[in-house]
Amino acid sequence: MNRYSIAAIVLGFALLFAAATDYIPAFMDSEGRVFGLFHLDIYKDALHVASGIWALAAATSRRAAVFFLRVFGTLYFLDGVMGVFTGSGYLDLSIITQGVLDVPARIKFLSSLPHLGLGAFGMIASRLATTEDRASAAA
C-alpha cells in the first residue's frame, strides 16, 4: 500500500471519528457542544460520514488517493478559513443557514481548527505526490 492511500485511510477514520463524537457523551459538555466548542448536527455528521467513506474508497489506488487528498484538502482547508472569519462554513451550508456567527474569535478559530488541520494534511500529502511525480518524470 502506498503512502497516499495510507494518508486517505487516516483521514477517513478521522472523519468517521468526527461524526461519532456527536453521539459519545464523553466528548459533549453540559450544553451538548462537542469538546465544549461547537454543536454538530445531522448535516455535519452526514458530511463527515460521506467524506470518510470517500476517503476509504479512494484509498484503493494511488491515483484515487492523490485526487481525494487534493480535492478534500482544498475544500476542507478553505472551509476552515471561512470558519475562522465567519464562524460558519460552506460545506455544511451553515454560512447560508446561520450566517456570520457572533462568537468570540477564539471560538471561531478553535472550531475551525479541525478543518484547517485535516485540509492542510490533505493538501500537503497531495503536493508531495505531485513533487514525486515530477521527479520521476525528470529521471
Structure confidence by residue, pLDDT tens digits, 31-76:
878 887 777 788 888 999 999 999 999 999 999 999 999 999 999 9
State in Å, rounded, how far the first CA of the chain is from the last one. Answer: 23
- Examine the pLDDT at 105 and tell me if it is beyond 90: yes
- Residue 124 located in a structural domain: yes
The three cell numbers locating residue 45? 455528521
Residue 86 in any domain: the answer is no
* Cα angle value 95/117/94 (rounded, 5°): 10
Q: What is the dihedral of CA 86, 89, 95, 98, to 10 degrees?
A: -80
Residue 85 inside a domain? The answer is no
Cβ neighbours of residue 130 closer than 8 Å, sequence gap 6 or more: 66
- Number of domains into which the chain is organized: 1
Residues 6+ apart with CB under 8 A from 38: 107, 111
Determine, yes or no, domain membership for 88: no
| Domain-located, residue 56 | yes
* Model confidence at 130: pLDDT above 80: no
Is 94 part of any domain?
A: no
Range with lowest mean pLDDT among 20-24, 35-39, 107-111, 133-137: 133-137
Q: What percent of the chain has pLDDT over 70?
A: 95
Report the amino acid identity of residue 43. Answer: Y
Rg (CA), the chain: 16
CA angle, 55 then 4 then 118, to 5°:
55
Decide if 99 is inside a domain: no
Residue 118: which pLDDT band, with cuts at 50, 70 and 90? very high
Inside any domain, residue 9: yes
The domain of 46 spans 3-76+109-138
Contact 21, 40 (CB under 8 A): yes
